[in-house]
């Protein structure tokens, strides 16, 4: 496969996954803002900037941190390369460049999403309802992945789509879990209280893991069990372990017998997730563990660019 084609498919998948993850983050913080808390209603949205910082111009362009300004910037801002609007646009542009490499159904799904998205403004989203808008973004991402899986040949193009999806998903899971531990929970709040419970429940819902938690643990929500589910459970679709299980198998298929550096990085990380224990994670420090993981995941993305694709990582993200 031509490296330019692989690059377009890789970033198409990453952009759609990031758009969905951003909608999930906004949704969970919108839910939390409705709860009584030591944090004021607007401050509940501040962690979104820590997880999805965008182009870093929020303070300069919006100034005051409000629920409206956060949603305008993170969801709808055409000049913010990290907004849902820009991510869907980028995914569609990558798809348009490689229409012959994806199925017609995949193109139609993505193009329809973009045509609807480009006509939305803040007033329309308000009338629609924030949660309905977030759900729509998630549903369109699910539809796109389902169409890709059900209509495309499972060849190298499909593998680059899968690789982009799961590397992006791992990054998001690590970031949102880290921010919950270190930003969302005020120091003055009693851990284990009802607000704390609803915050953890909202976190689980943001990664589609609330029912999975109930099925696995049959118990109240404890932070260390949430961390175990989202880091070490192989059968949890958004866990770090599951994401790297898919990534390593996909890289194996793409690399063949070539001893590529990206395969070594992914294999080493996958081994740590396979054989790690949650008490070891907390012994190291959850924040430190997740920070190291995010850095390694970024290094893997950069190495995939070098081993398979054409454009250096920084240029690809800017584009």
- The predicted structure's pLDDT at residue 319: 43
What's the average model confidence in pLDDT over 291-307? 94
Q: Could you give the angle at which helices 240-255 and 261-275 cross, rounded to 10 degrees?
A: 150
Angstrom distance (rounded) from CA 21 to CA 172: 7
Q: Is the pLDDT of residue 305 over 60?
A: yes
Q: Is the pLDDT of residue 184 over 80?
A: no
Q: Which of 235, 225, 246, 230 is nearest to 172 (CA)?
A: 230
- The predicted structure's pLDDT at residue 263: 95
Q: Is the pLDDT of residue 183 over 60?
A: no
Q: Is the pLDDT of residue 38 over 80?
A: no
Q: Is the pLDDT of residue 189 over 60?
A: no
- The predicted structure's pLDDT at residue 199: 75
- The predicted structure's pLDDT at residue 19: 96
Angstrom distance (rounded) from CA 49 to CA 149: 32
What percent of the chain shows pLDDT beyond 90? 60
Predicted confidence (pLDDT) per residue in 166-178, tens digit: 999 999 999 988 8
- The predicted structure's pLDDT at residue 64: 79
DSSP letter assigned to residue 192: T
Angstrom distance (rounded) from CA 231 to CA 289: 10
Q: Is the pLDDT of residue 312 over 60?
A: no
The contacts found for 122-130 with CB under 8 angstroms, 24 or more apart, are 122/68, 122/71, 122/72, 122/76, 125/71, 125/75, 125/76, 130/26, 130/27, 130/30, 130/71
Q: Is the pLDDT of residue 251 over 90?
A: yes
More confident residue, 162 or 31: 162
Band of the pLDDT at 200, cuts 50, 70, 90?
confident
Give the least confident one: 47-51, 127-131, 183-187: 183-187
Check if the beta carbon of residue 71 is closer than 8 Å to that of residue 122.
Answer: yes
Q: Is the pLDDT of residue 104 over 50?
A: yes
What's the average model confidence in pLDDT over 126-133? 92
């Amino acid at each position: 496969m031509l490296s330019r084609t692989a690059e377009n498919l890789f970033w198409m998948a990453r952009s759609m996954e990031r758009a969905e993850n951003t909608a999930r983050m906004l949704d969970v913080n919108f839910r939390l803002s409705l709860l009584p808390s030591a944090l004021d209603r607007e401050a509940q949205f501040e962690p979104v900037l820590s997880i999805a910082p965008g182009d870093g111009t929020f303070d300069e362009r919006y100034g005051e941190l409000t629920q409206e300004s956060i949603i305008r910037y993170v969801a709808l801002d055409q000049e913010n390369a990290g907004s849902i609007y820009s991510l869907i646009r980028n995914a569609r542009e990558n798809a348009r460049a490689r229409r012959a490499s994806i199925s017609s159904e995949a193109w139609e799904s993505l193009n329809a999403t973009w045509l609807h998205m480009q006509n939305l403004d803040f007033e329309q989203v308000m009338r629609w309802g924030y949660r309905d808008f977030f759900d729509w973004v998630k549903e369109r991402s699910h539809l796109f992945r389902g169409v890709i899986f059900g209509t495309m040949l499972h060849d190298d193009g499909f593998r680059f789509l899968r690789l982009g999806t799961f590397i992006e998903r791992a990054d998001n899971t690590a970031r949102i879990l880290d921010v919950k531990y270190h930003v969302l929970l005020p120091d003055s709040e009693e851990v284990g209280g009802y607000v704390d419970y609803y915050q953890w429940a909202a976190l689980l819902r943001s990664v589609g893991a609330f029912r999975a938690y109930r099925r696995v643990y049959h118990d109240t929500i404890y932070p260390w069990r949430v961390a175990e589910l989202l880091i070490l459970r192989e059968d949890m679709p958004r866990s770090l372990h599951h994401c790297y299980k898919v990534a390593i198998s996909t890289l194996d298929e793409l690399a063949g017998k070539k001893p590529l550096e990206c395969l070594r990085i992914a294999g080493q990380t996958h081994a740590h997730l396979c054989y790690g224990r949650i008490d070891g994670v907390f012994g190291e420090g959850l924040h430190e563990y997740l920070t190291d993981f995010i850095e390694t995941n970024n290094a893997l993305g950069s190495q995939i660019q070098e081993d398979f694709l054409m454009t250096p990582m920084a240029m690809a993200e800017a584009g």
